[in-house]
Structure 1
Amino acid sequence: MSPLPTHLVDRWRQRSDQQPGQGMLYWHALLRDQPEVVAMVQRAQERLEPFADGLHFTPLEWLHVTSLVVGPTQDLDEPALEALVAEGRRRLAGVPARQLEIGRVLYHPEAIMLAVEPVKAVAPVREAARAATFAVTGHGGLPESDPWMPHITVAYSTSSRSAAEIIEALGRGFPRGRVLLDSLCLVDQVGPERSWDWHERARLSLG
């Protein structure tokens, strides 16, 4: 996420969004029950409020760290979904829960995020999700950006604008906070990304 972007762009300007009723399966760590995470994101969103006409804020209810994009929901029937949950539970049972840190702000032309660190501590969770997905579907999830950087998205950009004012208002970081990564959820995201029509299919404990 470096160097800092000079401009923000509309995340959805060329992105093909899902149609109403279409779903996409994700492995997410959901964080709405972690007060330190919610409080830090709230502070960040308050600082960004003057720029809200060009930003789309992540609802606090759905604060998350994406571990893996599994693929279209319609590609897996109910027995396959049950098998994916069972395989995920088996794989994650061998991965201990872990304490992580947030505070560093990441800027991307399409989004403003908090880094979840250290990356190497999150990697075993992602690899367990990938292995479970491969065992059931024959592939390890959909292609993503490389290198992978675990993060919590504070806001998405919905317009083209200079990034300088936003970076000045929010800064490069907050005092360090803690994240307990102790579960992973299989989430069905239905319809357009910004509709936040999420359905938690399973919550699997680590360790």
Structure 2
Amino acid sequence: MSPLPEQMADRWQGRRMLPPGQGQLYWHVLFHDHPEVRATAREAHQRLAGLPGLHLVPHQWLHLTTLIAGLKDEITDEQVNVMLVEADRLLSRIRPITVTLGRVLYHPEALLLEARPADALTPMREAVQAATRIATGREGVLAHTPWTPHVTVAYSSAVQPAAPVIAALGRRLPDCEVTVRGISLVLQDGPEYAWDWRPIAEVPLGTALPNTARCERTHR
């Protein structure tokens, strides 16, 4: 993510895309019920307004990617159920996690808000990775190595100089503190840019700990 890129790249050019009807399972933290995150993304989008070659992330699908579990065709419904049960068991012992968004990270293909401190989210990532391994026999795949937890506000859809984008968005947005209380297993169908996302279940954190409000698990 550093140093600052001199040129933006087209994320979608040459990238392997799944056709409609084929999907991939992801563990995402979704922020549909976090108005503070939406407000921060809205400010980022306003700063970027009018700039060409950017694909703004819809507020409905603002997310923090934690793990790619695998292709849906390679994971049975029974394995999905086992994955959710194991994730529920492991995450029930982890308290909700508070992180701060605000620092902007630049990648040639994307504009990101870093989630700090990153280490605070590691137990959650390790829990869903363990659940994925128990259910499927595979570890899953990190979207980036090393894992840098973040919320993407825009993807680059053109090759162009990065300087105007950096000048418009800047290095920081006002700090946004957010408490992560659950993580979702999401089916992403077809090409990424289509945003055909189907949340399968949300698994709460901290349900086995005292003084922690229980979040209901919802299957969709």
- TM-score > 0.5 by shorter chain: yes
| Alignment map for 1:186-201 (pairs within 5 Å) | 186-201=185-200
Return the offset for 1:143.
Answer: 4.9
SS in 2 for 1:13: coil
Distance 2:11 2:143 in 1: 15
Distance 1:35 1:54 in 2: 27
- Which has the bigger relative contact order, CA under 8 A and spacing at least 6? 1
Q: Which residue matches 1:111? A: 110
Structure 1: 4+ residue segments shifted above 2 A: 142-145
Distance 1:172 1:74 in 2: 40
Amino acid corresponding to residue 34 of structure 2 in structure 1: Q
The 1:174–1:144 alpha-carbon spacing in structure 2 relative to 1, beyond 3 Å, is: closer
SS in 2 for 1:160: strand
Q: Quick check: 2:66–2:142 contact (8 Å CA) kept in 1?
A: no
Seq. identity, %:
44
SS in 2 for 1:133: helix
SS in 2 for 1:152: strand
> What are the Cα deviations for residues 56-83 of structure 1, in whole angstroms up to 9, with x where unaligned?
1111001100110001011112111111
In structure 2, runs of 5+ residues without a counterpart are 207-220
Name the structure with the higher helix share: 1
Return the offset for 1:142.
Answer: 2.2
Q: Which residue matches 1:84? A: 83
Distance 1:31 1:159 in 2: 27
* TM-score under structure 1 length normalisation: 0.97
Distance 1:49 1:18 in 2: 29
Distance 2:143 2:174 in 1: 29
In structure 1, runs of 5+ residues without a counterpart are none
Q: Which residue matches 2:181? A: 182
Tell me how large the CA RMSD over aligned residues is.
0.9
Q: Which residue matches 2:138? A: 139
Return the offset for 1:140.
Answer: 0.9
> What are the Cα deviations for residues 102-157 of structure 1, in whole angstroms up to 9, with x where unaligned?
00001000000100110000111101010100111111102542111000000000
Distance 1:165 1:89 in 2: 44
> What are the Cα deviations for residues 43-101 of structure 1, in whole angstroms up to 9, with x where unaligned?
101111111x3011111001100110001011112111111111111111111101110
SS in 2 for 1:200: strand
Distance 1:199 1:103 in 2: 28
Distance 2:76 2:128 in 1: 19
* Structure 2 residue 4 is the aligned partner of structure 1 residue 12: no
* TM-score under structure 2 length normalisation: 0.92
Amino acid corresponding to residue 50 of structure 1 in structure 2: G
